[in-house]
Structure 1
Amino acid sequence: MKTVLSTKILTPSQKELFLNSGLGLVEYDALKIEFLNVKIPLDCVNYIFTSKNAVKAFLNQTKDLNKTKFNAFCVGEKTKSILVENGLKVVAMAEYASELAKNIVKRNQNETFVFLCGNKRRDELPDVLTKHNVQYKEVEVYHTHLNPKAFQRDFDGILFFSPSGIRSYLSENSLGNSTLFCIGETTAAEAQKHSNHIIIANKPTVENVLVQAIKELSFRTDAERPPAGRAGSRSTMRNPKKP
């Protein structure tokens, strides 16, 4: 049986995708999140969230407030869903932070923002806002720590959801001949430093990463795979076409 390693503990509904796939699943959290004891300024209207952890930190400090007065600008559909469920108005959502930054510059350049983030946040969004003189205050509300774990075995596929997750895994393990399934271009760029066996999800969601792994590995033998270097080969980095 082929086995897939997820570097993130999956939800029950996500695990269900593996039912009847013919694949084994091993999972662990390659990262640990530490929420900081920092006071978030709540006198602003517009808040930027590039992760679900930033949303959690915000919600922990606004439990007793009427959240309809806040506008949210976020990255990812799951992040948007959490915000909407908790009463915030989502003004803009993008799949990547760089896209969100461009949207803000285009439509909300003269407004003021609070950007809630972690210590591993990337530079694309703040760089774009600064370049276009968008006024914002950055507040670090959580830290991401590597959570290394050694595995005394190889995996047919490894699911990665962030560059930090890749660094955590590689601190104790090697990739061997595993196919790496990455949630997006940023994660794939880190993976490409270590392997050419990379497949990028065509949509940056955990579910799509799982679907790509199942599609690539389940019920397939090596003899069924296309020759290396041709379309569909697992030996070169590729991004499946959107349906």
Structure 2
Amino acid sequence: MAGEVVYLLRVETTESDPFAEALRAAGYRPFVLPVLSVVWCNTEQLRAVLARSEAYGGLIFTSPRAVEAVRRLGSLPEAWRRRPVYVVGPRTAAAAQALGLQPRGEAAGSGRELARLILQAPRPERPLLFLCGARRRDELPALLRAAAFPLEELVVYDTRPSVPELPAEVPDWVVFFSPSGLEAARRLPIARERVRVAAIGPTTAAALQQEGWPVAAVARTPTPEGLLAAMQEATNLS
């Protein structure tokens, strides 16, 4: 419905938010709330493993922040551009492409879907390097290890809750972009029974439902278009 106020519970960023832009163009009034701050981890260890491209069969990224951890180190050794690179979602794919990589899995909406894609590819002789956050879900590594697929993980960032200044407008919608946003939401004066809740994907939706948040809309793809379509569909059904 035009004019509805939407809180987007996001990780802090200095860039414009494409989800807010898409919602604003559709007539909503979005507010980006930076409820999570990023802390970079294991920077020197990351630098060391990236210098040893010959030891790995490829890379896995499940978030743009993991790609950002690599970008912060400067130029990537050329050999990585010849390795398979697997990603979840178009934003992570775009971030990887900006590094000169050729990612696969843009259409994957979750770690589970990406794991299935990886398992269909030829098994590498060397482990894939999974660069992830400290709060990463178990789905992808569990599925790969269950299939005896060679994998090495390195945590390159963490997120910590922060309490942003809230706008005066009371929300009609609250959008969650990760399960870790739940911890931050507990600190905000949001009456869950008075708002409609949207999740960026099934993993986040499951975490919300487990904690008793009624989920009205789940994006079929983790994109601005996917979120907008899910919210509009939920509004039309109500």
Tell me, yes or no, whether TM beats 0.5: yes
Deviation at 1:118, TM superposition (A): 0.7
Match of 1:26 in 2: 31
| DSSP 3-state at the match of 1:133 | coil
- TM-score normalised by the chain length of structure 2: 0.80
Match of 2:145 in 1: 130
Match of 2:59 in 1: 47
Gaps of 5+ in 2: none
Match of 2:162 in 1: 147
Q: Cα 1:198–1:166, aligned 2, differ >3 Å: closer, same or farther?
A: farther
| DSSP 3-state at the match of 1:155 | coil
**Pairwise mapping of residues 1-243 of structure 1 onto structure 2 (< 5 A)?**
2-8=4-10, 11=16, 13-19=18-24, 21-36=26-41, 37-40=43-46, 41-42=49-50, 43=52, 44-61=56-73, 63=75, 65-66=77-78, 67-93=80-106, 94-111=108-125, 112-149=127-164, 151=166, 154-174=170-190, 175-192=192-209, 193-213=211-231, 232-233=237-238
Q: How many percent of aligned residue pairs carry the same amino acid?
A: 26
Q: Relative to total residues, which structure has the larger helix share, 1 or 2?
A: 2
Letter in 2 for 1:28: L
Deviation at 1:16, TM superposition (A): 3.5
Q: Cα 1:75–1:32, aligned 2, differ >3 Å: closer, same or farther?
A: same
Cα distance in 2 for residues equivalent to 1:50 and 1:20: 28
Deviation at 1:23, TM superposition (A): 3.3
Letter in 1 for 2:70: F
Letter in 2 for 1:146: P
Cα distance in 1 for residues equivalent to 2:221 and 2:200: 7
Q: 8 Å contact 2:86–2:103 — kept in the other structure?
A: yes
Q: Cα 1:61–1:20, aligned 2, differ >3 Å: closer, same or farther?
A: closer
Q: Cα 1:92–1:214, aligned 2, differ >3 Å: closer, same or farther?
A: closer
Cα distance in 2 for residues equivalent to 1:82 and 1:146: 24
Cα distance in 2 for residues equivalent to 1:182 and 1:163: 9
Deviation at 1:197, TM superposition (A): 4.6
Cα distance in 2 for residues equivalent to 1:116 and 1:72: 11
Cα distance in 2 for residues equivalent to 1:105 and 1:17: 34
Q: Cα 1:210–1:30, aligned 2, differ >3 Å: closer, same or farther?
A: farther
Deviation at 1:22, TM superposition (A): 4.4
1:198-232 CA-to-partner distances (Å, cap 9, x unmatched) read 21112222342244446656xxxxxxx7xxxxxx2
Cα distance in 2 for residues equivalent to 1:141 and 1:173: 31
Cα distance in 1 for residues equivalent to 2:38 and 2:119: 30
Counting matched residue pairs gives 220
Deviation at 1:146, TM superposition (A): 1.2
Cα distance in 2 for residues equivalent to 1:91 and 1:19: 30
Cα distance in 1 for residues equivalent to 2:204 and 2:40: 23
Q: Cα 1:70–1:16, aligned 2, differ >3 Å: closer, same or farther?
A: same
1:75-107 CA-to-partner distances (Å, cap 9, x unmatched) read 111211221232112244422111111222232
Q: 8 Å contact 1:49–1:117 — kept in the other structure?
A: yes
1:18-68 CA-to-partner distances (Å, cap 9, x unmatched) read 446443332211111111233221222401111111111122335153242
After superposition, the CA RMSD in angstroms is 2.6
Q: Cα 1:20–1:145, aligned 2, differ >3 Å: closer, same or farther?
A: closer
1:183-207 CA-to-partner distances (Å, cap 9, x unmatched) read 1111111222323352111222234
